[in-house]
Structure 1
Amino acid sequence: MIQRKPLAALTLTTMLALSVLSGCGKSSSDNATTNASANEKESTNTAATANTSTNANAANATTDESTAAGLEGKVVFWSMWSNAEPQAKVIDEAVKEFEAANPKVDVEVKYNGRDINKLIKPALESGEQIDIFEQDPGSALGNLKDHVLKLDELLEQPSIGIDGKSVKDSLLPSLMDWVKSLAAPAGLEEGYYAIPQQPYAVLFFYNKALFAGAGITAVPTSWEEFLADCELLKQAGVEPITFDDAYRDLFIGGYLGSAMGSDWTDSLVKDKTGEMWKDPIVLQFAKDMQILNEKGYFSKKIAGNKYPAGQQDLALGKVAMYLNGTWLPNEVAATAGPDFQWGSFQFPVVANGNDKGGQQGLSFGAQGLLMNKNSKNIPAAFELVKYLVGKKAQEGMSAQALAIPATIDSTWPAPLAEAAVAFGNAKVNMPWGFGIDNGGDFSSGTVLPTFMELATGKIKPEAYVSKMADQAKKFYEGK
């Protein structure tokens, strides 16, 4: 039995002190559906909404609680959820409450599902009425920068559900700092262009019952402890690790990011000479993957696993661990059932790195609510946003969608309680895949397929290093 310092039970106060994030994210596409208000009225705007200039809109749109009741017209909200998902129920409840407080405003919610990612830009460019929309801010601000409204002044309005706090101050500071940091890289003026919600982080999710049955009393924090736990699970008759085609990037990225940090991993996949692939840490990685394969720590299914096969095996108790996002417990809730004992931990610390990785880095982000700068009804639209990110709605997301709320002083869902430890450790925000996906076609067409050759024993560690160095040089020749 491995005896390491166990995780202490986390109180809500402890969680809040860590300024935590988590949420829901990557998934397959859903069919678009529409949920429109039954009595659509002709859109009538207040005088303060006529100006379409970004700065003027933000200034004219600033309202307070005394003027909210005078709002009128129509507001159109495009959601990233399908109407069958639990998030939609929470949104519908928030819209109903908003319309009761603002009877002269009609709200149309269009549930696009993940198809919104390909539909939103053409719709905005065509001039279709969309006042509010959901997107991942990390990609949306660059892709849609000509359409997003700067929200700084609006965020100073009173929040819904947290007395004495502005909208900005009612949301977790770490989330707000993150979305603000995205403006400059997107080519936008410094400020806030998205309101974070449904935050997420990448962690190992594990079955506590299987860990306990194998005699594991604490989660691993180092790679050596991780391997020891894998052996105990194997001896208990449990396959330790799985992944599938949708998330295999997280495993290679997680290892290299833990050893060297995401900036190094980013440079690795963009190295035109191929020489970085000859770094000793790459050979160490390859040898560790060989160990996982040869000792049977990887699921026998990983070679052919298509999403969501891996996460279903975790939920069914067929495998112990799966590296994924904090949306996972919600996605597999129907399969796992209410008695599944969820646990999570950060990617273990990999030795012989450069001190820029380890658990100071965490891959996290959030979905976001963004507003169309050409909206003709910004005051009413932002008032609806206040309900959507208000305490009641955010705690509804926690209760019904197992998502950590974005608001301060809010209750977390039990399956994600241990995620607080990872956020407490984190000081650096790493990108999705810990930088391993940043090579574009080289990452998708060479890095990931060759990793699968290594993970399934089709190529030896030394040959892996040589192949990656040669393939990188060949790919980038002339570029």
Structure 2
Amino acid sequence: MNKGSRAFATALVSTMLAVTALAGCGSSNDKEHSANSNAAANGAAANGNAGANGNAGANDNAAANDAAANDAGASGTTDAAKLSGKVVFWSMWSNTEPQAKVIDEAVADFEAANPDVDVEVKYNGRDINKLIKPALESGETIDVFEQDPGSALSNLKDHVLKLDDLLAQQGIGSDGKTVKDSIIPSLLGWVKSLAVPAGLDEGYYAIPQQPYAVLFFYNKALFQKVGITAVPATWEEFLADCELLKQAGIEPITFDDAYRDLFIGGYFGSAMGSDWTDGLVKDTTGELWKDPIVSQFANDMKLLEEKGYFSKKIAGNKYPAGQQDLALGKTAMYLNGTWLPNEIAATAGPDFQWGSFQFPDVSNGNGKGGRQGLSFGAQGLLINKNSKNVPAAFELLKYLVGKKAQEGMASQAVAIPATVDSTWPAPLEEAKVAFQNAKSNMPWGFGIDNGGDFSTGTVIPVFMELATGKLAPDAYVTKMAAEAKKFYAGK
């Protein structure tokens, strides 16, 4: 993954986490693995018309598809014996990745059950982010495609089919549950919450899969070595654990240039919640940077630096240097996404003892942060509104999000399954605790990235001055207040 391919910067609307644990991606499942529609939005899109058939033809086709969706949804099932034709699926994976193997198996099962349907899978890799919008706008035949739902609904809203009625169909391998009831409720609630802000009617336009969450990942063996028997729940406990690790000659915390935002946002999000953090980076006056919590943050970061709790390499760490140090046992903790164990499995090896926990509770906050909020999201499967074979396309989608395929993602790609009552991969087992604690969704970066160029060009670089001892806490507060006012002047 690389920083430029991040799709998580999409602002995720707050939603309540339901009974079951949410899930973290296998790229979704790194930043590369997350589908970033920013590149697609800048791509050389075609003229935006419906393609070779013209607007009228496209509208007629969309209406026919809506009718087909309503008919299938009303009965709650699809007669597989009547399915025929071809389904074209554009995947965000490359054919060498473990996710592709799971997809191939699901496609084979689908074709065996639907012998009159031929499926063509195009493995685009992360290039799908640049290719999907121009392809859809030019009228290329695409029935099902993978994208980050937030980005897709914002940038491809004229091409996505509403799935509400289709979700009433029975799922594949779901013990009689409908497709809707077989997916973790919090994921579906999140996807639904994205529709109206994107300018669509309320409803479901994607089925979430390859979900992810942001957590501290740690080396259990190193924790055990220094006598840490429980993960830290508070900032004070976190500091105490850092000291134990430091005294044993172990670097407690690392990160690299691709994930510096998470540490800043994690602290402010834990103290004040993501809405406050969003307001901080968008404050045109700079006055919010003078809030006492910012001074507390600056002093805490200075403490981490002075005590040697930060890795000495953080100033120059280029992705993936930080996470490799975690895998090699050189550092104990790394704040990242739930795709991490899969991403560095080759370096960490099969005997690495994975653990995870949420960003610890920061004191003196406003009561809107803490572990009640969790930064999570997912990739999604979407159907082209202009597909000529919606019934078969949705039937294929059911296999892709069926229990067998989702548990295949867990076992083969170390991804958290999107289906309820499914077994999570062992390296992510502790992530369940975070999902059980959380009640609301926070965006990627806990809101710290929502300032756009101000976040990337000022917030993160000045944080690095603080974290590496080049800037004193008081000077940090003064500089950030001044830089915010300067940046937003005249905007």
Normalising by structure 1, what TM-score?
A: 0.91
1:17 positional shift: 5.2
Per-residue CA deviations over 1:106-142 (Å, capped at 9, x if unaligned) read 1111111122112111111111111111111122211
**Aligned counterpart for 1:51 among listed residues 50, 58, 61:** 61
Equivalent in the alignment of 1:478 = 490
**Aligned counterpart for 1:27 among listed residues 9, 28, 31:** 31
Aligned length: 447
SS of the residue aligned with 1:51? helix
**Aligned counterpart for 1:367 among listed residues 363, 379, 388:** 379
Preserved CA contact (<8 Å) 1:223 1:348: yes
**Aligned counterpart for 2:20 among listed residues 18, 21, 24:** 18
1:52 positional shift: 1.8
Residue 296 of structure 1 pairs with residue 308 of structure 2: yes
Paired AA for residue 23 in structure 2: L
Paired AA for residue 366 in structure 1: A
Equivalent in the alignment of 1:261 = 273
Paired AA for residue 194 in structure 1: A
**Aligned counterpart for 2:392 among listed residues 380, 391, 395:** 380
* Matched ranges for 1:382-397 at <5 A: 382-397=394-409
Residue 153 of structure 1 pairs with residue 165 of structure 2: yes
Paired AA for residue 25 in structure 2: G
Equivalent in the alignment of 2:201 = 189
2:76 and 2:111 mapped to 1: Cα distance?
17
Paired AA for residue 259 in structure 2: Y
SS of the residue aligned with 1:52? helix
SS of the residue aligned with 1:438? helix
Per-residue CA deviations over 1:290-330 (Å, capped at 9, x if unaligned) read 11111111111111111111111111111100000011111
**Aligned counterpart for 1:344 among listed residues 356, 381, 385:** 356
1:148 positional shift: 0.6
Normalising by structure 2, what TM-score?
A: 0.88
Per-residue CA deviations over 1:135-185 (Å, capped at 9, x if unaligned) read 111222111111110000111111100132111011111111111111111
* Matched ranges for 1:423-438 at <5 A: 423-438=435-450
Preserved CA contact (<8 Å) 1:454 1:461: yes
Preserved CA contact (<8 Å) 1:61 1:378: no
1:55 positional shift: 3.2
1:59 positional shift: 2.1
Preserved CA contact (<8 Å) 2:30 2:343: no
Paired AA for residue 186 in structure 2: S
Q: Relative to structure 1, is the Cα distance of residues 95 and 50 closer, same or farther in structure 2, using a 3 angstrom cutoff?
A: farther
**Aligned counterpart for 1:124 among listed residues 133, 136, 141:** 136
Preserved CA contact (<8 Å) 1:132 1:369: yes
Unaligned runs of 5+ in 2: 1-17, 35-58
Paired AA for residue 302 in structure 2: Q
Q: Relative to structure 1, is the Cα distance of residues 29 and 254 closer, same or farther in structure 2, using a 3 angstrom cutoff?
A: closer
SS of the residue aligned with 2:79? helix
Unaligned runs of 5+ in 1: 1-15, 31-48
Paired AA for residue 19 in structure 1: A
1:108 and 1:228 mapped to 2: Cα distance?
55
Per-residue CA deviations over 1:446-465 (Å, capped at 9, x if unaligned) read 11111111111111111111
1:464 and 1:439 mapped to 2: Cα distance?
18
Per-residue CA deviations over 1:22-77 (Å, capped at 9, x if unaligned) read 223233479xxxxxxxxxxxxxxxxxx97322633522555765621221111111
Residue 440 of structure 1 pairs with residue 452 of structure 2: yes
Q: Work out the percentage of aligned pairs sharing the same amino acid.
A: 79
1:140 and 1:305 mapped to 2: Cα distance?
32
Paired AA for residue 31 in structure 2: S
Equivalent in the alignment of 1:401 = 413
1:80 positional shift: 1.1
Paired AA for residue 214 in structure 1: V
Q: Relative to structure 1, is the Cα distance of residues 317 and 428 closer, same or farther in structure 2, using a 3 angstrom cutoff?
A: same
2:187 and 2:312 mapped to 1: Cα distance?
38
Q: Relative to structure 1, is the Cα distance of residues 29 and 196 closer, same or farther in structure 2, using a 3 angstrom cutoff?
A: closer
2:185 and 2:327 mapped to 1: Cα distance?
33
* Matched ranges for 1:171-250 at <5 A: 171-250=183-262
Per-residue CA deviations over 1:355-379 (Å, capped at 9, x if unaligned) read 0001111101111101100011111
1:21 positional shift: 2.1
SS of the residue aligned with 1:387? helix
Equivalent in the alignment of 2:112 = 100
Question: Aligned Cα RMSD in Å?
Answer: 1.7
1:81 and 1:245 mapped to 2: Cα distance?
24
Equivalent in the alignment of 2:102 = 90
Preserved CA contact (<8 Å) 2:298 2:466: yes
